[in-house]
Amino acid sequence: MSFAPDVTEILARARADLRMGVPVVLSGAPGMLVIAAETLTAQRLSDLHALGGEPVLVITARRAETLKARCYDKDLARVILPPDAELGWIAGVSDPVDDLNTPMKGPLFTQRGGDVSAHRLAINLAKSALLLPAVVMLPLADPVGFASQNALTLIPTAQAEPLLAASPIPHPVVSARLPVEAHEKGRLHIFRPEDGGEEHYAFEIGSPARDKPVLARLHSACFTGDVMGSLKCDCGPQLHAALDQMGAEGAGVLLYLNQEGRGIGLANKMRAYSLQDQGFDTVEANHRLGFEDDERDFKLGAQILKSMGFSSVRLLTNNPRKIAMMEKNGISVTDRVPLKVGETHFNRGYLATKAAKSGHLL
């Protein structure tokens, strides 16, 4: 009998640690001390320097491209941390908020050669914690002993890698009747992913047949658009138009996935908005932050639909990527139903960028 956490639970604990500014340790030879750059404190940075060794600031290739730093590791770069590096230096490399004011961040020297699987895992862990994709790392000769002495979470690297790369399976928790304006016969289903992440929702209208294509929408959470009525995007109008169409037909399923800001979280989305105010489009802003165009995981939607008994959909979307992901994960898309609503003079540029750079059919 053991009450010890398994690897999935250890990763959930590690995400919470990183968000609080607490380091985590990766097992291996050598092991690695990992601290999120965004939540790093002056005291812990001082303690890190006191350990000696050769710490690095790991950033993504997207961020490295913005900084004109040499990227020898394909999808990431290991920037050598100067011995006198202070928080301001780390923040300047990690966060693009002052890029236009202080464009010269260097000289930045990056490592090359060697295994970077631990560094890649650390970046993916920071992303999954909805932090900036930048981490400070230091090799450890005795990771198990160091973690034990400092009461730090120890992550078994080899076991954690495939879990971080996979889609967490969402499990049904509860459902209840919920009448809404679009249709009085509604039912809200709650799904909780097994990795301890945010819950996702499926709103079912009417009693759609399981043996026929259901009118469905994969909608990513958008606090600014869905709740605040933002004019910078078309999310709120798309949400309500989808519900209205399902209500008019008397049946449908709207999946509400908690993947704010194309999967980067609300804080990073606001960082992207700040960069857009400086003149960058939505894709450029994501890249400057160190993210890809779209970090969402649409497999979750396919998994939820299958768990509800659906195998085919008429998909309300303008995004071909959603169609491809549904088909790839066992959900047949018999028809794409366009959803062109919500254009304003505030978001015309944003919609044009989605069409030109992300392939949306607008």
- Residues forming the active site: 294, 296
Closest by alpha carbon to 164, among 205, 118, 206?
Answer: 118
Task: Answer for the pair 56, 96: CB distance below 8 angstroms, yes or no.
Answer: no
CA dihedral 270, 273, 275, 281 (to 10 degrees): 140
Work out the burial of residue 149: count CB atoms within 10 Å of its CB; fewer than 13 is exposed, 13-18 middle, 19 or more buried: exposed
CA dihedral 112, 115, 118, 123 (to 10 degrees): 40
Residues facing 217 on adjacent strands: 254
Using the Cα atoms of residue 86, residue 79, residue 14 and residue 285 in order, give the sign of their dihedral: positive
Rounded to whole angstroms, how far apart are CA atoms 200 and 192? 6
Task: Answer for the pair 342, 362: CB distance below 8 angstroms, yes or no.
Answer: no
Closest by alpha carbon to 329, among 362, 297, 303?
Answer: 303
